[in-house]
Amino acid sequence: MSKQTIGRVEDGQPARFSTAQYRDLLDFYGADDDVRDEVLGLLKEVKAAKGDPAGGWWRAYADLANAHFDHFMNLEQACDRMTTFQLTLLPGLLQTPSYRRWIEATTNPAMSAVEVERRLELTARRQRRLTDDPGFSLDVLLSESALRHRIGGQTVMAEQLLHLVDVGKLPNVSIRAIPFAAGGHPGLVVQSFTMFEFPPLSAGRLAEPPVVFVEGFTGALFLEEDTAIGRHRATVTDLRQVALTEDRTKRLVRQIAEEYGA
């Protein structure tokens, strides 16, 4: 958690973070049992008042997820705009079940079939927001390599790429590819990331600052510092300048899908 977020909490301003992070802060401040019970009780009341007594529908899948899962889902569900740049793999909100199944099997070969299906179900529920929430927008920038890696084989990739074309027709989704012909670009140095941007919390109040998520194989970072956000915004601007238009991206995606036998 950034200093800015902690500062907002200490000043009594709204900030978005998970129940687990509330508990960590209570531990850090040395809160006694009565204070812990009071704060966590208030937290439950707030979530219940929002029609979310369980603290988020995704909590039913918490046993399958990594340590940063709850915070990521809080951000994904609270934001009104997601901008993501991906170098090698497609973002979860665009993945077909077959594509996702390969990722799960590769990440954890010992995972049971039941666990895999629950993870696929989780991904499908996340994807509903693309069609069910007109106030939410997704802006995707993809390296051409993400389209050409044969995840799961040619048949899986052909299906996945045709799905990209379909999802790209949604009015709140923008998918643009950065072709190999663009040469070197800042994304090759910055690597993959996702930026969450939020609507105003209430009338007359500024929106909460953006958060950038960067995931690694064994951990993740949530960046909130102004400098980090500014650098990632500048990277998005630079990537848009070298990316194909949405229409040209669709043509490239269809072309690659045909190469895979679609």
The ranges assigned to domains in the chain are 1-55, 67-95+126-259
Beta strands in the chain (DSSP E): 81-86, 137-143, 173-178, 193-197, 211-215, 220-223
Per-residue confidence in pLDDT tens, the chain, 262 aa: 667 777 777 877 767 666 777 788 888 889 998 888 888 777 776 665 555 544 577 667 666 666 677 788 888 988 999 999 999 999 999 999 999 999 998 988 888 888 889 989 999 999 999 999 989 999 999 999 999 999 999 999 999 999 999 999 999 999 999 999 999 999 999 999 999 999 876 555 666 789 999 987 777 889 989 999 999 999 999 999 999 999 999 999 999 999 998 7
Task: Give the integer Cα–Cα distance in Å for 253 and 163.
Answer: 10
Region for residue 191 given its phi and psi (left: phi exceeds 0; alpha: psi -120 to 50; beta: otherwise) = left
Fold of domain 67-95+126-259: Endonuclease; Chain A (3.30.870)
Task: Give the integer Cα–Cα distance in Å for 113 and 29.
Answer: 42
Provide the 3-class DSSP secondary structure of residue 140.
Answer: strand
Task: Give the integer Cα–Cα distance in Å for 9 and 15.
Answer: 6
Task: Give the integer Cα–Cα distance in Å for 228 and 221.
Answer: 11
Task: Give the integer Cα–Cα distance in Å for 73 and 209.
Answer: 17
